[in-house]
C-alpha cells in the first residue's frame, strides 16, 4: 500500500472520493458562501472554469493528495480535504486544505472524514505522527483540531503568505500513534 494512493474511503456521514475535475462544479456550488474562504490559501472560485483551474492546481501539487468530501445522503460534493507533507520514511503526514460548504458545517461530516483519514494514516499506513497546520487567527479551526484529540505544538511565525498578501502565523498540532486509540474512541463516540 502506497502512502500516495487515494482510495475511496466510506463512512456513515461522508464518502471521500479521490478529487478529480468532475468535482469542480460541485465544489463551486458547495463553496458559494464567501465565509467558507476566509482562512483558506486560495481565493473563492466564481465560475466553473475557475473551479476547474483550482482543482487542476490541487492535482498538480506533487506533495498533496486530495479527496472530495461527498454527502452520502444526497451525493452532493460538500468540500475537499487532503493529505500533504507526506513522509513515508519518517512515517508522518499532515491533514489539511480542508473546507466544507456552510450547510455541512457543524455536522458529523467533517469529524467522520477525519476519522476515515486518521484510521487510514495510523492503521493502514502505520503512521507514527499526523499533523495539522491552521491560521493563527482561525480559532474555530484550532478548537476543531483540539476536539479531535490533537496536541498544540507551537506557532510558526510568519509561516505563509495569505491570498491577500498579509503574513500568516501558523499553529501546529499533532497526534501520535500512541494517542490514536483514545482519539479514535472519542471520535466514534
Could you report the per-residue pLDDT of 112-169, keeping only the tens digit for each? 999 999 999 999 999 999 999 999 999 999 999 999 999 999 999 999 999 999 999 9
Residues 6+ apart with CB under 8 A from 123: none
Residues 6+ apart with CB under 8 A from 8: 15, 16, 17, 18
* Domain ranges (residues) in the chain: 9-188
Determine what percent of the chain is predicted with pLDDT higher than 70: 100
**Residue tagged 502506497 (cell numbers):** 2
For domain 9-188, the question of CATH label 3.40.630.30 is answered with yes
Amino acid at each position: 500500500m502506497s502512502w500516495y494512493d487515494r482510495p475511496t474511503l466510506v463512512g456513515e456521514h461522508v464518502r471521500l472520493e479521490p478529487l478529480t475535475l468532475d468535482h469542480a462544479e460541485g465544489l463551486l456550488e458547495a463553496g458559494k458562501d464567501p465565509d467558507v474562504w476566509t482562512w483558506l490559501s486560495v481565493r473563492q472560485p466564481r465560475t466553473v472554469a475557475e473551479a476547474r483551474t483550482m482543482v487542476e492546481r490541487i492535482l498538480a501539487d506533487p506533495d498533496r493528495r486530495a479527496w472530495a468530501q461527498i454527502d452520502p445522503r444526497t451525493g452532493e460534493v460538500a468540500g475537499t480535504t487532503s493529505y500533504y507533507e507526506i513522509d513515508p520514511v519518517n512515517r508522518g503526514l499532515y491533514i489539511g486544505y480542508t473546507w466544507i460548504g456552510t450547510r455541512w458545517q457543524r455536522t458529523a461530516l467533517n469529524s467522520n472524514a477525519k476519522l476515515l483519514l486518521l484510521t487510514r494514516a495510523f492503521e493502514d499506513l502505520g503512521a507514527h505522527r499526523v499533523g495539522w497546520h491552521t491560521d493563527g487567527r482561525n480559532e474555530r479551526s484550532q478548537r476543531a483540531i483540539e476536539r479531535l484529540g490533537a496536541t498544540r505544538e507551537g506557532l510558526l511565525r510568519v509561516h505563509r503568505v495569505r491570498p491577500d498578501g498579509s503574513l500568516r502565523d501558523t499553529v501546529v498540532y499533532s497526534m501520535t500513534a500512541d494517542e490514536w486509540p483514545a482519539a479514535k474512541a472519542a471520535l466514534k463516540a
